[in-house]
Amino acid sequence: MTMLNTRFTEAFGVEHPIVCGGMTGVGTAELISAVAEAGGLGFLTALTQPTPEALATEIVRCREMTDKPFGVNLTLLPTVNPVPYDEYRAAIIDGGITIVETAGSNPQEHVAAFKAAGIKVIHKAVAVRHAVKAQSMGVDAVSIDGFECAGHPGNEDIPGLILIPAAARVLDIPIIASGGFATGDGLVAALALGASAINMGTRFVASDEAPVHPNVKAQIVANDERQTILVFREFRNTARVARNSISEEIAALSTRPGAEFADVADLASGVRGRTEVLQNGDMDGGMWWAGQSQGLIEAVLPCKTIISDIVSDAEAAIRRIAADLT
Each domain of the chain, given as residue ranges in start order, spans 7-212+299-324, 228-289
Q: Counting Cβ atoms within 10 Å, is residue 300 exposed (0-12), middle (13-18) or buried (19+)?
A: middle
pLDDT tens-digit profile of 181-227? 999 999 999 999 999 999 999 999 999 999 999 999 999 999 999 99
Measured over the CA atoms of residue 203, residue 209, residue 211 and residue 214, the dihedral's sign is positive
pLDDT at 66 over 90: yes
Nearest-angstrom CA–CA distance, 137 and 126: 16
User: What is the pLDDT at residue 2?
Assistant: 55
Q: Which of 1-15, 163-177, 264-278 has the highest mean pLDDT?
A: 163-177
Contacts of 212 (CB under 8 A, 6+ apart): 25, 26, 205, 278, 279
Under CATH, to which class is 7-212+299-324 assigned? alpha beta
Look at the pTM and tell me if it is higher than 0.85. yes
Neighbours of 284 (CB within 10 A): 13
In this prediction, residue 109 carries a pLDDT of 92
What pLDDT score does 81 carry?
Answer: 81
Query: What average pLDDT score do residues 267-294 get?
Result: 96
pLDDT value at 1 more than 60: no
What would the pLDDT profile of 41-55 be if each residue is shown by its tens digit?
A: 999 999 999 999 999
Residue pair 215/236 in contact by the 8 Å Cβ criterion? no
SS3 string, 138-150, reads CCCEEEEECCCCC
Euclidean distance between CA atoms 98 and 36, whole angstroms: 14
Q: Please write the tens of the pLDDT for every residue from 131-151.
A: 999 999 999 999 999 999 999
Tell me the percentage of the chain whose pLDDT exceeds 90: 94
Contact 217, 48 (CB under 8 A): no
Mean pLDDT of the chain: 96
Q: Is the confidence at residue 122, as pLDDT, over 90?
A: yes
222's CB contacts (< 8 A; 6+ apart) are none
User: In angstroms, rounded to a whole number, what is the distance separating the alpha carbons of residues 177 and 195?
Assistant: 6
Residue 79: the pLDDT is 74
